[in-house]
Amino acid sequence: MPEGHTIHRLAQDLKASLEGSRLKVSSPQGRFEDAVLLDGRMLTAATAIGKHLFLFFGTLCVHIHLGLFGRFRLQRAPFLPPRGAVRLHLEGDSVCWSLSGPTVCECIDDEAFHALKARLGADPLSTGSRPKGAWFQFHRSKRGVGAALLDQRLFAGIGNVYRAELLFLTGLHPETRCCDIDKSTFEKLWRLAVKLLKQGVKYKRIVTVAGATKSAPKREAVYVYKRRLCRVCETAIAQLQSANRTLYFCPHCQSAPTLPEKPLRARRQQKQFAQ
DNA sequence: ATGTCATGATAAC
DNA sequence: TTATCCTGACATA
């Protein structure tokens, strides 16, 4: 479930429950050997940038990326032995967290931290972040906006669900070339990203439909992602592969890009799914 | 028991 | 462009 909102919420929750405490740190699964370096130290900060999570134990920094499968599970005392493959176990007095399935869980030095930071684009969830650099690259790029939204060097934290929903809410066909999108549309995209991701942090889930509540059933929480019919016009949702992921969109609400002629491949695909 | 899929990203061809 | 890594939930047999 991890897009940027998940990681930022995690940073908040880890901070609230463990910051300032000395922790028992281990790697029950054994694949994070540096856990021993952290054991008995105090968690001094937890922060998120895009989909990356950083835990600070004084000068030591743990870099975590959940990838597609990673998750943190919370337990309150009394703790049961963690099940499954737990890469990292953090235990305070009253709560403990178990991390399983991350793509990355490693200790990094200050230099690596800054290098990582430098290669990430504008994060809709970092306070005061503005997409100036993103726009600079965006407006001169010929690739499709769908692919661009998943590029973490441009936008840090947007994932496959938000991508589809943002494109829908902006009325953009995913294959519209970035360079054919004007600045006001780009800014609309950014403002929506900020608003929706923030709401995702608050709700601990992705809800993009206007007026839908925190507890809205899955089918009513999104406009197009993994839906059969468009939430608004009930046209059959189409899909295509973009940046190695399935991108869902409404061929009616998201008008086809005008120039240049759409590639034949895309037209066929659209036809195939649009019955 | 086995297969499939997933809100991610990278390295290699 | 493909192959690969990470884990678990659910479907099918």
pLDDT digits (tens, 9 = 90+) for A45-86: 999 999 999 999 999 999 999 999 999 999 999 999 888 899
Given A198, A226, A245, A262, which residue is catalytic? A245
In which element (H, E) is residue A183 found? helix A183-203
Amino acid at A190: W
Is A245 among the residues known to form the active site? Answer: yes
Is A226 among the residues known to form the active site? Answer: no
Q: Is the CB of A31 under 7 A from strand C?
A: yes
Residue A258 has pLDDT above 80, yes or no: no
The answer to whether the beta carbons of residues A259 and A180 sit under 8 Å apart is yes
CB within 8 Å of A245: residues ≥ 6 apart: A150, A160
Residue A103 Cα distances to A64, A86, A173, A181, angstroms:
8, 13, 31, 34
Six token digits for residue A13? 């929750």
Indicate the burial class of A209 (C-beta count within 10 angstroms; 0-12, 13-18, 19 or more).
middle
- Could you say which nucleotides of strand C lie within 7 A of any protein CB atom? 2-3, 5-8
- Could you say which nucleotides of strand B lie within 7 A of any protein CB atom? 6-10
Q: Is the CB of A73 under 7 A from strand C?
A: no
Mean pLDDT of chain A: 92
Comparing C-alpha atoms, which of A188, A24, A181 is closest to residue A94? A24
The verdict on pTM exceeding 0.85 is: yes
Which pLDDT band holds residue A269 (cuts at 50, 70, 90)?
very low
Token pair 């800054």 is found at A114
Given A9, A28, A51, A82, which residue is catalytic? A51
DSSP string, A1-65: --SHHHHHHHHHHHHHHHTTSB-EEE-TTS--TTHHHHTTPBP-EEEEETTEEEEEETTEEEEEE
